[in-house]
């Protein structure tokens, strides 16, 4: 990390305020001063500082002197994250991964750019994870899983082995995904929502919302 670069947590709401201390610690360990870290938030009339860190609009962030700019997207909505990722890439802002110091990463974990790994997250072995993944507190991903782009894990998600999670899926707090089989993974379809505390024992169609134990599709 370059001490002359500028780093941002994009989003100064609840999740951004949780990510900021992790980002600050990560930069401190790399010898980057805290003043090179800011919030970026475009909410009108917001405060100039949040929890001791400057808050800039995106335009102000781009205008700051810096050798390079990096941002991690602490935005809950995966659709908004995707739009912001494209915007940042267009403007030369580099995707930044922020991980708590106690995250466990085992063998052959391929992690896409822009991830947020909260405290006590575990990624075991032979896992492939896409871009801008959010893994909240105490979540884990077991062996031989494939996770797509812009996937969100709320706290304490239990993703067991041989599971495929497609792009933009949301897995709610305390959900459990049953282990699949080699060549026959359990699949969470693109844009699916797994409700809080759901126990998923079979694949979930794209765009579906499942709740309960065992998880069943919610009729709309």
Among candidate residues 70, 132, 143, 168, the one labeled active-site is 143
- CB-side exposure of 63: number of CA atoms within 13 Å? 5
Cα distance between residue 36 and residue 69, in whole Å: 10
Q: Is 134 a catalytic residue?
A: no
The answer to whether 79 and 58 have CB atoms below 8 angstroms apart is no
Count of alpha carbons within 13 Å of 146, Cβ hemisphere only? 13
Query: Please, which residues bridge with residue 111 across strands?
Result: 129
* Cis amide prior to 214 (ω within 30 degrees): yes
Give the active site residues: 143
């Amino acid at each position: 990390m370059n001490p002359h670069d500028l780093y941002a947590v994009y989003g100064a709401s609840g999740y951004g305020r949780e990510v900021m201390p992790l980002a600050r610690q990560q930069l401190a360990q790399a010898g980057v001063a805290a003043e090179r870290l800011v919030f970026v938030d475009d909410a009108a009339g917001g405060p100039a500082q949040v929890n001791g860190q400057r808050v800039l609009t995106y335009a102000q962030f781009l205008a700051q002197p810096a050798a390079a700019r990096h941002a991690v997207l602490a935005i809950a909505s995966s659709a908004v994250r995707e739009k912001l990722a494209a915007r940042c890439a267009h403007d030369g802002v580099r995707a930044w991964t922020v991980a708590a110091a106690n995250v466990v990463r085992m063998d052959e974990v391929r992690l896409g750019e822009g991830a947020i790994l909260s405290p006590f997250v575990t990624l075991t072995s032979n896992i492939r994870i896409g871009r801008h993944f959010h893994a909240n507190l105490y979540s884990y991903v077991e062996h031989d899983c494939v996770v797509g782009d812009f996937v969100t894990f709320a706290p304490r998600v239990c993703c067991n082995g041989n599971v495929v999670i497609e792009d933009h899926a949301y897995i709610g707090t305390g959900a459990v995904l049953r282990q699949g089989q080699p060549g026959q993974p359990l699949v969470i379809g693109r844009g699916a929502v797994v409700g809080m505390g759901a126990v998923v024992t079979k694949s979930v169609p794209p765009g579906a919302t499942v709740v309960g134990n065992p998880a069943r599709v919610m009729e709309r």
